[in-house]
Amino acid sequence: MTRKYFGTDGIRGEVGVFPITPDFVLKLGWAAGCVFAREGHSKIIIGKDTRISGYMFESALEAGLSAAGVDVLLTGPMPTPAIAYLTRTFRADAGIVISASHNPYQDNGIKFFSAKGTKLPDEVELAIEAQMDLSMTTVPSGQLGKVRRVEDAAGRYIEYCKGTVNGNLKLKGLRIVLDCANGATYHVAPCVFQELGAEVIEIASSPDGLNINENSGATDVNSLRKVVQAEEADLGIALDGDGDRLIMVAHNSDVVDGDELLYIIAKAMRDQDLLAGGVVGTLMTNFGLEQAFKRESIPFARAKVGDRYVMELLDSKGWDLGGESSGHIVCRQVSSTGDGIVAALQVLKAMADTGSTLAELKKSVVKLPQLMINVAVPKGVDPLGVVAVQSAVAQAEAKLGDTGRVLLRPSGTEPLVRVMVEGEDSVLVKALCASLAEAVEKALSGLVS
């Protein structure tokens, strides 16, 4: 069935524009509460990031859930992966995060976790959407859900993060610049690394409701690179607004992205016989990472773009490690979802175990030149099935041989077709990508004329 509201990562959009409105979120809370309450009296935990609209949507969700007879636990600002963890430890029936992740403050969203701290099954999301079509009601006053605040949520999560690495890991002598993107990790991430012994230099850790992800965090590491260099730090850590993404910066200012971080963690785990099976990437994972895994005899598989699909493939294969180039990394042996702090600790552990710098550990991944062109596509039009486009793709793949890849895919969030080419020859990559984008545009002109 087609979803009306849920995307691959919950419901997200611009604040004040349907469906990211107080009235919709109120009814969403009620609908979710009704679905979860069918198995008996329920308990749901709610967290949020630091954007100003979080206060409004927290209240709306709280009211809707209470009207459905569901008890609510409020954590205040907490990283998305922290809510996944706390949902499990509090034995809650579900967790809800109010966040638009790496988006600017004008956006917000609602995403759910199951009692296991994983994304909701499709049938539960569809049941919530079906409930949204009904008129909202309120349980009798004596059955209204009660609400309380979890005062020690931050402390619980800090101890959990520290517990995901060997108790012998000490970061004493390590000088780290930490970019919290003025987001949900601002009050927990510094504590994690400091309590393990590192000297932490904080940037973008003073949220005001409007500056989340602004020129900072995992989507913009320019400031982090400058501070790492100026402070002569050993490395930099950049998290995004809700704490589920990680990008790092080496002492020499090299950016270490999700692909390279995934390799560092995977090789360290394999060398200690801790890697179950192989590693899951996505269709956008750089071909250079696939080649690096092949050299190390580490199995590798690609999922569709989106952490939801990474998790699905990990589940089906029984593997524990996967992630995206954007820095969303799932260490499933210790976490049920992508967690920037947990992934950073795994990288720091690899550095400590090998005695290597971050710059040295990333050298084994030689990334291939990659270019992507976005082609705007009218809603409901699919140029990828046009014979001329398919022929152009086949010709491009023939020219690349086994030294590169071609990928054309519709965006899951925007009316675009993403045309991506990567290979060893940057000039050829550029020419083929431009040619394929032109083929898509010509196909569109024929379809809409």
Nearest Cα residue to 110 out of 97, 101, 120, 121: 97
Residue type, 283: L
CA–CA separation, 117 and 95 (whole Å): 7
Q: How many CB atoms lie within 10 A of CB 387?
A: 8
Q: Which residues pair with 200 in a beta bridge?
A: 176
* Eight-state DSSP code of residue 20: S
Q: How many CB atoms lie within 10 A of CB 299?
A: 13
Tokens of 244: 């589920």
Residue type, 363: K
Which stretches of 90-197 are DSSP H helices?
122-132, 153-163, 189-195
66 is known as an active-site residue: no
Q: Mention every residue, 6+ apart, whose C-beta is less than 8 A from residue 224.
A: 177, 179, 203, 216, 236, 238, 249
Q: Is 282 helix (H, G, I), strand (E, B) or coil?
A: strand
Instruction: Lay out the sheet containing 71-77: strands in order across.
Output: 11-14, 107-114, 94-98, 43-48, 71-77, 147-149
On the CB side of 352, CA atoms within 13 Å amount to 19
Cβ(78)–Cβ(23) under 8 Å? no
- Phi–psi pair at 203, nearest 5 degrees: -135, 155
Q: Which of 101, 114, 326, 335 is catalytic?
A: 101
Residues with active-site annotation? 101
